[in-house]
Amino acid sequence: MAEVTLTIDGIEVTVPKDISILKAAQKVGIKIPTLCYLEGINAVGACRICVVEVEGREELVTSCNTPVEEGMVVRTNTPAVRESRRMTLELILANHPMECPTCPRNGNCELQNLAAQFNIRGLRLPALPREELPLDTSTVAIIRDPNKCIVCRRCESVCGIIQTVGAIALQGKGFTATVAPVGGRYLDQTNCVQCGQCALVCPVGAIYERDDTDKVWAALADPNKHVVVQTAPAVHVTIGEMFGMPVGTDATGKIVAALRRLGFDAIFDTNFAADLTIMEEGSELLERIQKGGVLPQFTSCSPGWIKFLEHFYPELIPHISSCKSPQQMFGAVVKTFYAQLKGINPANIVSVSIMPCTAKKFEAARPEMNASGYRDVDIVLTSRELGRMIREAGLDFANLPDENYDDPFGIGTGAGQIFGATGGVMEAALRTAYELATGKTLPKLDFTEVRGMKGIKEAAVDLNGTTIRVLVAHGLGNARMLMEKLKAGELKDYHFIEVMTCPGGCIGGGGQPIPTTTEIREQRIAGIYERDKKLPYRKSHENPDIKKLYEEFLGRPLSHKSHELLHTHYTPRLSWQALKAGTK
């Protein structure tokens, strides 16, 4: 790759010629402040916080989207640069609600942090007059506060470029501009999949998850309610970040201890339900292969992906596995088998889940998720919401002892744990499908071909003479590429496709701790696989609690009872074309 040499603040540096001044400065230890910039996604220079001086140019330039040049001389910390950045911040603050103490991003807000970095203790500009806009509370998962939008366009870029959903876009001009659904619609009138990636990248509190912690506190305080909770695999290695622990730390035991101190009556591991999902989904795959069913089969554990398919590719719905996600399977088993085992009226059970994903709130509210006669899952909290509850209770999370899950759903395997990373569902399925189909022990347990941050991965495995070809995609833009290839007839030789809505899989879910960068995703994934190695069982079909559930209640995978409780169906939604046209 061709290189250029330039000078930044008196330091000579040689870098690839196609990078920006911002990236070049990082290589010499200079951190230029940014607000709208997202590496590889959003480099529009809209906020102008990253301006620098370039010798020979009359105007300051935005460093995030200005490429380096041979012999360029850059200055990042001159009086003119500092004054420009400060004035830009003051203009933003003059048009921003000063509600920091009550904002959901208080203490973790990029605008707030920049104001502190630039030592802004007062504004030279009066607050600008603006119309108070109503909150968009139309969805069960995401809330929009257009009054706090600083028009950085990060959310628009993630929604349009990474997820290819395009539910929101720039509306209006000047100080009236905001990023919102097209045509003045509410989010629930769009094709929004409620993945929460917009909330994950918003630098302020303009988009955030609906907070359901008060519902949980009320249930815990009700003596007539038996409140059970499940914790998703991705949460195990992310929640610690909210309490100063290194990224990727396995905090499972401390999560259990915290939940016990919060007052939950029973604390279970969603890894158990992930193992249950593998038993059902793997059996469904083998049945489709043997009986000529619709192939390739799609995974169904990522609710944003399912909603995406219902909107954009309803004709491909028959490819989706009929299995519910681990969250929903767990809820159904809690309201039936567990209720019977404990002699509790399921009407008095409140089923709570701790998830990395805002779309899980939408999934739990789907009308079909009540085969037991009760809602499978009553309340979904994201990682961030659980963190707030732990803080509110005054718990010293990092110093809590490690405690164990309760019976009968306290055992989860390594296969269930890796559900939290892209490729994990596929790898878990292959570990079990191989041994169920061949009756042989896997010669190699780790399917490294489906691991990592590559957007689309593939692998092949021999099952009793039949080569099973699989694909893995994370991020809905990558999923769209596969769907287009499938429609064009290019994937007819593949058997199984895993799709995770969010980049990196659930470890990068929309409800995870902020910030969530590519580097952080990779560290979380490493934590996922490290925990997999340490667990006593690493294959779903070896889980003794799963064996007991089938022996005492379900009978076998794909039995009538398991179909009744653990499987579901999906239906087409308004198409994107119809939504744009305002028709049905």
Positions annotated as catalytic residues are: 281, 284, 301, 321, 360, 363, 368, 506
Six-digit token string for 100: 């920091």
With residues binned 3-state (H G I as helix, E B as strand, rest as coil), the percentages for the chain, rounded to 5, are 45, 15, 40
Task: Please give the full DSSP string across 458-511, using - where no structure is assigned.
Answer: EEEEEETTEEEEEEEEESHHHHHHHHHHHHTTTTTT--EEEEESSTTSGGG-TT
Query: At 242, which helix (H) or strand (E)?
Result: none
Q: Are 99 and 108 in contact (CB under 8 A)?
A: no
Output the CA angle 315-316-318, nearest 5 degrees. 105
Sign of torsion over alpha carbons 313, 187, 180, 62: negative
498: three-class secondary structure by DSSP = strand
| Distance of alpha carbon 488 from alpha carbon 482, whole angstroms | 10
Mark 129-160 as b/e (b = at least 16 C-beta within 10 Å). Answer: eeeeeeebebbbbbbbbbbbbbbbbbbbbbbb
- Residue 303, preceding peptide bond in cis (omega within 30° of 0): no
Six-digit token string for 256: 């259990």
Task: Please give the full DSSP string across 382-405, using - where no structure is assigned.
Answer: EHHHHHHHHHHTT--GGGSPP-PP
448: three-class secondary structure by DSSP = helix
Six-digit token string for 501: 């809505």
Q: Are 535 and 414 in contact (CB under 8 A)?
A: yes
- Residue 515, preceding peptide bond in cis (omega within 30° of 0): yes
Q: Which residues pair with 67 in a beta bridge?
A: 20
Six-digit token string for 415: 């296969």
Six-digit token string for 180: 């919102």
Six-digit token string for 219: 């249930």
- The phi-psi region of residue 7 (left if phi > 0; otherwise alpha if psi is between -120 and 50; otherwise beta) is beta
Taking the chain, what is the end-to-end CA distance rounded to the nearest angstrom?
Answer: 51
| Distance of alpha carbon 344 from alpha carbon 498, whole angstroms | 37
Q: Are 198 and 162 in contact (CB under 8 A)?
A: no
Sign of torsion over alpha carbons 242, 245, 249, 250: negative
